Amino acid sequence: MKFIKPLILALLSCALLGSGSCSKHLLASKRERKLKVCYIGLTCEAPIFAAYENGYFKEEGLDVELVKTSWDSLLQGLSFGRFDATHTLVPYLLKPIEQGLEVKMTGGIHHGCLRIQAWGKSNIKSVEDLKGKRIAVSTMGSPPMIFAYRVLAAHGMDVNKDVTWVVFPADSTELAMERGQVDAIADSEPIGSLLLSHGTVRTIADQSKDDPFKDEYCCAVVVSKDLASHDPVAAAKVTRALLKGAKWVGVNPMAAAKLSAEKKYLAATPELNATALALLHYVPGVSTCERSIALQAIEMKKAGMLSASTDPAALAQRGWQALPGVDDEWLKTLTVEKVPGEPEPATDPVAVAAMMAGKKACCAKCCIGD
């Protein structure tokens, strides 16, 4: 109801000023509305919280409301215009875009945090050694499982026949490997580093280190088709604010972790939250993100996760939109302040294990997929 009056006034102005001015007035009215940026309440969403609390949206001249949602409602909300923007996982978006979801990715937030790890006492030392083995995942279709699909397919394996997928909660997989119930795990940070710190696993594939995955983006800014099509200027402003938030998180993981916890965007201790953030490599990108989306589309098709008739290049192009003022040249000028006196988060596996002992890990839940 609160938007009806401005729209009526805009329509009256159209009648008085003539049809030539109508579209301009309606667009101005649309730009004045409050934009809704949604979030789920995950560790990796720190750039959203930082952009809001640090005033980056306001710096762009935007009136933004943060709206908490769920995995099930996020894509529907973006598709039907209930939400205007967020950032989320690239592989989480590509299959729905193939099936008709109309959203646009506009910039990269952070690099990958996914791994395949095998039980340290096993004879599994390469991807090929996983053939015939059981791989644990926290949820079927989760991002770690998608990553594992891509790795196996890249090594010529049939992901539906050559391995067995077993669902285990992330905090139970170490015991499951010890008992011989599974042979390996597809996981994410900080679970991967925690397992390494115990000396119980060896890493078989690492998204942050191995080609062709090491430079790709795990999460990207995504805006609704309505915003991208009808107000690309506002879409660019939202994107710039979120990319600035990502850069600030990368420079200030401890401050970002405190902000997320103290403002109650999620339930976590700042120390654990900061560790997860520091391991996620927040380096905003534009052209690199566009290339990353294309690469992931190709790899997902190779893994059988996209339709045989899908053109990966066309799919990536359909899911991307270049925006005014959002490019590599702008990124070169982007600066953020370093919060003075903030301690560096623990990223050494032993330190992480000590800190997490007896505590419930606040993982990069967006990547674990619980």
- Give residue-wise pLDDT tens across range 139-153: 887 778 888 998 998
Report how many domains make up the chain: 2
Residues 191 and 242 in one domain: no
Residues 206 and 228 in one domain: no
Residues 222 and 329 in one domain: yes
- State the DSSP H helix or E strand holding residue 73, giving kind and residue range, or none if neither: helix 71-79
Residue 212, preceding peptide bond in cis (omega within 30° of 0): yes
Residue 295 vs residue 130, higher pLDDT: 130
Is 70 exceeded by the pLDDT of residue 276? yes
User: What integer pLDDT is reported at residue 19 of this predicted model?
Assistant: 42
User: What integer pLDDT is reported at residue 270 of this predicted model?
Assistant: 80
Residues 248 and 354 in one domain: no
User: What gap in Å lies between CA 7 and CA 90, rounded to an integer?
Assistant: 35
For every residue of 141-179, DSSP letters joined together read: T-HHHHHHHHHHHHTT--TTTSSEEEE--GGGHHHHHHT
For residue range 62-94, what is the model confidence (pLDDT) as tens digits?
999 999 998 779 999 999 989 999 999 898 899
Residue 353's pLDDT band, with cuts at 50, 70 and 90, is: low
Residues 257 and 188 in one domain: no
Q: Angle at Cα 250 formed by Cα 234 and Cα 97, nearest 5°?
A: 50
Instruction: Show the domain range for 177.
Output: 114-214+348-368
Residue 98 domain flag:
yes
pTM for this structure?
0.77
Residue 199's pLDDT band, with cuts at 50, 70 and 90, is: confident
For residue range 104-140, what is the model confidence (pLDDT) as tens digits?
999 999 987 789 999 999 999 999 999 999 999 988 8
Residue 72 vs residue 299, higher pLDDT: 299
Residue 301 domain flag:
no
Residues 101 and 233 in one domain: yes
For residue range 257-273, what is the model confidence (pLDDT) as tens digits?
999 989 999 876 787 77
Q: Average of pLDDT values for 155-175?
A: 90
Residues 325 and 272 in one domain: yes
- The tokens of 197 are what? 């710190």
Residue 190, preceding peptide bond in cis (omega within 30° of 0): yes
Residue 271 domain flag:
yes
Q: Could you tell me which residues come within 8 angstroms of residue 168 by beta carbon, excluding any fewer than 6 positions away?
A: 136, 137, 138, 176, 181, 182, 185
Give the three-state DSSP class for 111: strand
User: What gap in Å lies between CA 200 and CA 178, rounded to an integer?
Assistant: 8
For residue range 14-34, what is the model confidence (pLDDT) as tens digits?
444 444 444 443 444 344 579
Q: Could you tell me which residues come within 8 angstroms of residue 229 by beta carbon, excluding any fewer than 6 positions away?
A: none
User: What integer pLDDT is reported at residue 355 of this predicted model?
Assistant: 60
User: What gap in Å lies between CA 180 and CA 182, rounded to an integer?
Assistant: 5
For residue range 320-344, what is the model confidence (pLDDT) as tens digits?
999 999 999 999 999 999 999 887 7
Q: For the chain, what is the mean pLDDT?
A: 84
User: What integer pLDDT is reported at residue 84 of this predicted model?
Assistant: 98
Residue 144 domain flag:
yes
User: What gap in Å lies between CA 330 and CA 160, rounded to an integer?
Assistant: 44
CATH of residue 82: 3.40.190.10
